[in-house]
Amino acid sequence: MSDNGKQTVKGLVDNITYQNPDNGYTVCTVDYEGNPVTLVGIIPTLTEGEYISAEGSWTSHPTYGKQFSVTSYQKELPATSDSILAYLSSGVIKGIGPVTARRIVDKYGSETLKVIEEHPEWLSEIKGITSKRISEISESFKNQYGMRQVMLYFQGMLSPAMCLKIYKQWGNASVDVLRTNPYVLCDQVDGIGFEKADSMAQKLGFTLDNEERIYAGIKYELGLELNRAGNCCLPLDMLTQKASALLGTDKRTVEEACGVLSQNGEVIAVKDGEGRIMIYLEPVYRTEKFCAEKLLLLDSSVINIPIDDPDAEISRVEKETGIEFAPLQRVAVKSSVTRGVVIVTGGPGTGKTTVIRAIIALFKKIGTPFCLAAPTGRAAKRMSAATGYKAKTIHRLLECDFAGGEDGQSFRRDEDNYLDEEVIIIDEASMVDVFLFGALLRAIRPGSRLIIIGDADQLSPVGAGEVFNDMLKSGVFMSVRLSDIFRQAQGSSIVTNAHLINEGRMPDCSNKGDFFFLKRENAADVRELLVSLCTSRLPNAYKYDPLKDIQIICPTRKGDAGTVALNALLQSKLNPPSTAKSEREVRDVVFREGDKVMVVKNNYDIEWTDEDGTTGNGVFNGDIGFITKIDRAEESFSVSFDDGRNAVFDYSGFDDLEHAYAITVHKSQGSEYNAVIIPLYGCPAGLLSRNMLYTALTRAGKLAVLVGKVEILCEMVANNRRSIRFTGLAGMLELLKK
């Protein structure tokens, strides 16, 4: 039937074919006017035997034919004695089977459901129903229709999927909780930010000066800065300015509210070294403080290794490996056996990998168990190839577990289940955010050694904090800065030009060796050349696989030479439509079998299988792979990741994917590709920085090609501004060390 352009289907649910318990996506059959109709959509907690009124539109599935796609729905209670009998006989209410259903309906007729809801004690009049069974029936009925109450209460305000999240959080108390304070949604339900909660609150009659609104706005701004800018904290004056603009209130009100939040422990106010009051969300402060305390504990509690003469032992390693260590490399290796925490930093070609190999050889000779890890799958794979020893992602090392809940992560390795190894070596450490670093530290047994290697001139982590640089800045730990470019690397124009750029000097653009700058002045020419390089020029000249060996790395997502536009263009050239390839359109983007894709949101629930048969859970922001299969029948798709894992997602997983023919510089960190192409065109001024270019260039293993305008290259080399992150780890380390 149709009502003002909306189509409606009503009927009893005969059969549920599929239901995702996490997002509520359901495929079911409904008896609609005597005919079976297939309904698909977000219909959480639906059970067979329920009566549903659904709004949506008719669609045609290529395999299953005509279906009704649900956009909104209501569960309705059957009204007649016959329909109530059918409903209860289906087993939808725990404690009531067909026989009991008949007895109850014979007694109460069309008032049956009202009796169960309002006067369940009356059921004692029915033969065979005990008080225990009455409690069971009553509870089952409440649970069945608790979700219905949430849906009705928030009709027009929230999607069914969000209603499901709310119901999972507070159950039958959901409406009462949110009627009292809808702003709790900001903290406790993923996907509902301040703006949405505020809009709901206005509809529910909350005023703009409501205290809960002010508190929520402050915490929202802190969370926004944490997630978008990586700031662990904010100066009070900056926070009051941002929060007052968001809330439309004066700064004094915000300051006073910060005081209240500080008193009740929801935010932490501390003075930094410059005397500024810094405001933290409590969990963030707790994490940074823990990191500082645990790092100092590791450095002070290290267990001596039975080596009488470390220098002699290192000399023996030199002789066995045939490598003569440079003085600073020797210092780094020696520090690994004499100190609890060691930092090694340096740019490309400065011998960081040689140091790792030497440390491994030394501890292997001594017989001390060690492990290798890196933040991403690609970085771990590179580490394994360079050292000959298995390296894991940090998540995998810590045995990431989904038990922490849908919106968070937990790890099996922690202070109650320490890592077995006594030496933990972390590569690409500049990428590690404060929360992952905190989890790593929790898993390291006091007395163990932590050796972290990275490049201080790379971009900040995608996540919050600035752990690597804060540790260097503090001056508390043994740190070795490798600066000499070794002979084998001096022949690489990539390496020499990366160092020139890092020093603020123009690279050699004579187009010799492995570094090329191809000048193009307009968008059409840039795009044409990028396509040509990927599809023919580089594959023909170097035998590179266009998808596996070549990576376009962009400073920006937007514009003619940003990732969004280039991904659409390159997909059409490298993986065009084909009758042999299944595809699915999501958010106006077509995903197709064979597509190169990147995960853009952590999903701790996804199960994967490794090439060696190992299984585990979790895919993470930045993981790259290829769509190997889109299964329309199962409404799922498979991705083969470049570190060897294979995972199957349901269709909702498309929301957490992007094409990866072109990726941003931030997303490229920790990776290395045979050939890197960097478009320098149409970049916003804020992204034209030296370390942005340096980071992109150092992703190239064998060949780097810059395409675009000389002016942009010059501007990036000249601009040494780094984005400032507000963090407290360096100050905490300095203070605690005193």
Block residue for tokens 């659904």: 54
Which is more confident, 18 or 718? 718
pLDDT digits (tens, 9 = 90+) for 39-96: 998 887 777 777 888 988 888 877 778 899 888 887 777 778 887 887 788 776 888 8
Q: How confident is the model at residue 400 (pLDDT cuts 50, 70, 90)?
A: confident
pLDDT higher than 80, residue 492: yes
Number of CB atoms found within 10 A of residue 565's CB: 18
Alpha carbon of 74 to those of 98, 154, 415, 567, 652: distances in Å?
25, 12, 47, 40, 22
pLDDT reported for residue 2: 43
Listed in sequence order, the DSSP H helices in 90-193 are 98-108, 112-118, 131-153, 160-170, 174-180, 184-188
Q: How confident is the model at residue 545 (pLDDT cuts 50, 70, 90)?
A: very high
Q: Count of residues for the chain?
A: 738
What mean pLDDT is predicted for residues 400-412? Answer: 62
Q: Please, which residues bridge with residue 432 across strands?
A: none
Least confident of 18-32, 274-288, 662-676: 18-32
The DSSP 8-state label assigned to residue 537 in this structure reads: I
pLDDT reported for residue 634: 79
Distance of CA 252 to the CA centre of its chain: 36
Interhelix angle 194-203/211-224, nearest 10 degrees: 160
How far apart CA 369 and CA 353 sit, in angstroms, is: 19
The whole-model pTM stands at 0.80
pLDDT higher than 80, residue 151: no
pLDDT reported for residue 342: 97
pLDDT higher than 80, residue 154: no
How far apart CA 73 and CA 52 sit, in angstroms, is: 7
pLDDT higher than 50, residue 1: no
pLDDT digits (tens, 9 = 90+) for 495-542: 999 999 999 999 999 998 899 999 999 999 999 999 999 999 999 999
Contact 62, 42 (CB under 8 A): no
pLDDT digits (tens, 9 = 90+) for 332-368: 999 999 999 999 999 998 999 999 999 999 999 889 9
Burial 449-484, CB ≥16 within 10 A → b, else e:
bbbbbbbbbbbbbbbbbbbbbbbbbbebbbbbebee
Contact 688, 716 (CB under 8 A): yes
pLDDT higher than 80, residue 190: no
Percent of the residues in the chain that have a pLDDT greater than 70, as a whole number: 96
Q: Is 598 helix (H, G, I), strand (E, B) or coil?
A: strand
Contact 330, 467 (CB under 8 A): no
How far apart CA 481 and CA 457 sit, in angstroms, is: 11
pLDDT reported for residue 322: 85
pLDDT digits (tens, 9 = 90+) for 648-706: 998 888 989 999 999 999 999 888 999 999 999 988 888 889 999 999 999 999 999 99
HEC assignment per residue over 463-515: CCCCHHHHHHHHCCCEEEEECCCCHHHHCCHHHHHHHHHHCCCCCCCCCCCCE
pLDDT higher than 90, residue 494: yes
pLDDT reported for residue 614: 84
The mean pLDDT of the chain is 89
pLDDT digits (tens, 9 = 90+) for 603-612: 877 889 988 8
Order across the sheet with 341-346: list the strands.
Answer: 391-393, 370-374, 423-426, 449-454, 341-346, 478-482
Alpha carbon of 193 to those of 41, 203, 205: distances in Å?
24, 16, 19
pLDDT reported for residue 402: 55
Q: Please, which residues bridge with residue 624 across strands?
A: 598
pLDDT higher than 60, residue 4: no
Q: How confident is the model at residue 160 (pLDDT cuts 50, 70, 90)?
A: low
How far apart CA 652 and CA 641 sit, in angstroms, is: 18
Counting Cβ atoms within 10 Å, is residue 358 exposed (0-12), middle (13-18) or buried (19+)?
Answer: buried
pLDDT reported for residue 410: 82
Long-range contacts of 532-535 (CB under 8 A, 24+ apart): 533/677, 533/705, 533/707, 534/570, 534/573, 534/574, 534/661, 534/677, 535/573, 535/574
Number of CB atoms found within 10 A of residue 255's CB: 17
What mean pLDDT is predicted for residues 641-650? Answer: 89
What mean pLDDT is predicted for residues 278-302? Answer: 96
Lookup: tokens for 443:
């898993």
pLDDT higher than 80, residue 142: no
Alpha carbon of 517 to those of 378, 386, 563: distances in Å?
26, 29, 20
Contact 141, 114 (CB under 8 A): no
Q: In angstroms, how far is the first alpha carbon of the chain from the final one?
A: 76
pLDDT higher than 70, residue 156: no
| The amino acid at 285 | Y
pLDDT reported for residue 405: 41
Q: Is 718 helix (H, G, I), strand (E, B) or coil?
A: helix
57: nearest Cα among 68, 43, 46: 68
683: nearest Cα among 653, 659, 713, 705: 713
pLDDT reported for residue 51: 80
Lookup: tokens for 60:
């045609």
Q: Is 251 helix (H, G, I), strand (E, B) or coil?
A: helix
Find the radius of gyration of the CA atoms of the chain: 30
Distance of CA 345 to the CA centre of its chain: 26
What mean pLDDT is predicted for residues 194-198? Answer: 86
Q: How confident is the model at residue 105 (pLDDT cuts 50, 70, 90)?
A: very high
H and E: helices and strands count for the chain: 28, 31
pLDDT digits (tens, 9 = 90+) for 436-458: 999 999 999 999 999 999 999 99
pLDDT higher than 80, residue 188: no
66 backbone dihedrals φ, ψ, rounded to 5°: -70, 130
pLDDT reported for residue 503: 94
Contact 646, 639 (CB under 8 A): yes
pLDDT higher than 50, residue 407: no
How far apart CA 544 and CA 14 sit, in angstroms, is: 55
pLDDT higher than 60, residue 3: no
Which is more confident, 185 or 550? 550
